[in-house]
Amino acid sequence: MSACDLLVTGGHLATMAKGGAPYGAVRDGAVAVAGGRIAWVGPRAELPARFRDDAAARVDVAGRWVTPGLVDCHTHLVFGGNRAREFETRLRGATYEEIARAGGGILSTVAATRAASDTDLMDTARRRLEALCAAGVTTVEIKSGYGLDVISEMRMLRVARALQRELPVTVQTTLLGAHALPPEYAGARRDAYVDLVCQEMIPHAAEGGLADAVDAFCERIAFTPGECARVFDAAAAHGLPVRLHADQLSDYGGAALAARYAARSADHLEYTSTEGVRAMAEAGTIAVLLPGAFLFLGGSGRPPVEAFRRYGVPMAVASDLNPGSSPILSPLLVLSFACILFGLTPEEALAGMTRIAARALGMAEEVGTLEVGKWADLALWDVGHPSELSYWLGGNPCAGTLHHGATGPESERA
């Protein structure tokens, strides 16, 4: 039996491990893979002889940079239809909130998703996920939230789970039943819908093993802090961790609510107060920044990045891939936007879509850095330095991926 299944050499490593050189960089590095996990990583000159001399397979990456596979920790990529017409409406002056209150926005996608067949949902979601994978993503979170009834929400989660069986990617699923109030519960039936989420959706998702976490949209056009708290209480009762869409359109106390429930993350955060930042820091809640949505909606408030730095709140970066506010299929553009629009450094942005994004998913022990014991999820890049992943606008320098030590669909270029 060989000492390792695969030996990767001939390039440079951006391990993204904390401490040491920027990016955790190792020039002329090597990665030994055994059983789908990293068995050794470091400078090739220090590679133990057992790995150097007894590898079942070898890959020479020909001078490329190797990073952890990207972790896109916030997407909504399972949905029916699209909202290109609403995009035109917004360009004529209507706001996202005005469109939502008029019955468009999320509810228009709900109608399209409910009407779509399982095959249609699967086919369209696969194409979106293929685009992410081709650009270096090896772990992705997928939310429900466009069904808004028990059957449709569970169907979305099942489609998301099935994608993992078809593509070289790890999928985490999140139940987002509290995304919007469906039309059949409008008016005085708000409490009845929250009851449905808490008493039926969450139990079904938990008992069926369909969800890894529960999310809610805390905003004036969605659900109040009190309603989200009810959802979080139900999630806790079923052993599911929570996340929160928080403070995207206003300072509605979402960050503080997420912190009170020790949420894995609070996401968006364009209007989060200093008090909310402090609460997140004390609770260990990750800030997930979503610059694609900020750009697409023409946002004016920016996440308090300096406050996050000052109080030590880790910042993840994600695509928020969805039909209404972030129809973006390029994680590398998201890295660029995080730097250009929010002022992150290229190293912070890449850490935000690797090491810190893994923390937001509760997967820090499994993915996000190139370290011994973690899954051998690698992305190979035709760049001269890792900062170029944020620098170039457009194009795709990803030369391939390894997922759990196996080559991804683009790896023949490696």
Q: 260 and 142 share a domain? A: yes
**Model confidence at 98: pLDDT above 90:** no
| Mean pLDDT to the nearest integer, 312-322 | 98
Q: 48 and 75 share a domain? A: no
Lowest mean pLDDT among 20-29, 40-49, 185-194: 185-194
Residue 302 placed within a domain: yes
Report the b/e string of 304-313 with b at 16+ CB within 10 A.
bbebbeeeeb
Q: 11 and 147 share a domain? A: no
User: For position 230, which CATH number holds?
Assistant: 3.20.20.140
Residue 1 placed within a domain: no
Quote the domain boundaries for residue 380: 6-68+369-413
Residue-wise pLDDT tens digits, 212-239: 999 999 999 999 999 999 999 999 999 9
Q: Which residues pair with 140 in a beta bridge?
A: 72, 171
**Model confidence at 145: pLDDT above 80:** yes
Q: Which residues contact 115 (CB under 8 A, 6 or more apart)?
A: 80
| Mean pLDDT to the nearest integer, 379-386 | 98
pLDDT of residue 360: 98
Lowest mean pLDDT among 18-27, 128-137, 179-188, 202-211: 179-188
Q: 283 and 386 share a domain? A: no
**Model confidence at 410: pLDDT above 60:** no
**Model confidence at 409: pLDDT above 50:** no
Check: CB of residue 307 under 8 Å from CB of residue 279. Answer: no
Can you read off the two tokens belonging to residue 352?
């935000």
Q: Which residues pair with 286 in a beta bridge?
A: 265
Q: What is the pTM of this model?
A: 0.96
- Place 339 in a pLDDT band, splitting at 50, 70 and 90: very high
pLDDT of residue 408: 55
**Model confidence at 179: pLDDT above 50:** yes
User: For position 393, which CATH number holds?
Assistant: 2.30.40.10
Q: 348 and 378 share a domain? A: no
| Mean pLDDT to the nearest integer, 76-96 | 89
Residue 166 placed within a domain: yes
Residue-wise pLDDT tens digits, 262-300: 999 999 999 999 999 999 999 999 999 999 999 999 988
**Model confidence at 342: pLDDT above 50:** yes
- Place 380 in a pLDDT band, splitting at 50, 70 and 90: very high
- Place 101 in a pLDDT band, splitting at 50, 70 and 90: confident
Residue 91 placed within a domain: yes
Q: 64 and 114 share a domain? A: no
pLDDT of residue 414: 35
- The rounded percent of the chain whose pLDDT value lies above 90 is 89
| Mean pLDDT to the nearest integer, 133-145 | 98
Q: 60 and 190 share a domain? A: no
| Mean pLDDT to the nearest integer, 63-73 | 98
Q: Which residues contact 308 (CB under 8 A, 6 or more apart)?
A: 277, 287, 314, 315
Distance CA 198, CA 227 (A): 10
Residue that wins the pLDDT comparison between 93 and 4: 4
The terminus-to-terminus CA distance of the chain in angstroms comes to 26
Q: 281 and 344 share a domain? A: yes
- Place 80 in a pLDDT band, splitting at 50, 70 and 90: very high
Q: How far is CA 370 from CA 69, 96, 126, 307, 399, in A?
A: 9, 40, 27, 29, 18
Report the b/e string of 175-185 with b at 16+ CB within 10 A.
bbbbbbbbeeb
Domain endpoint, select from 360, 378, 399: 360
pLDDT of residue 93: 86
3-state secondary structure of 223: strand
- As a whole number of Å, the CA-based R_g of the chain is 21
**Model confidence at 89: pLDDT above 90:** no
Residue 90 placed within a domain: yes
The residue assigned the tokens 């170039």 is 392
Q: 265 and 327 share a domain? A: yes
Can you read off the two tokens belonging to residue 68?
């952890």
**Model confidence at 185: pLDDT above 50:** yes
Domain endpoint, select from 315, 342, 360: 360
Q: 218 and 356 share a domain? A: yes
The residue assigned the tokens 């099935």 is 162
Residue 111, number of CB atoms within 10 A of its CB: 15
Average pLDDT, the chain: 95
Domain endpoint, select from 324, 341, 360: 360
- Place 413 in a pLDDT band, splitting at 50, 70 and 90: very low
Domain count, the chain: 2
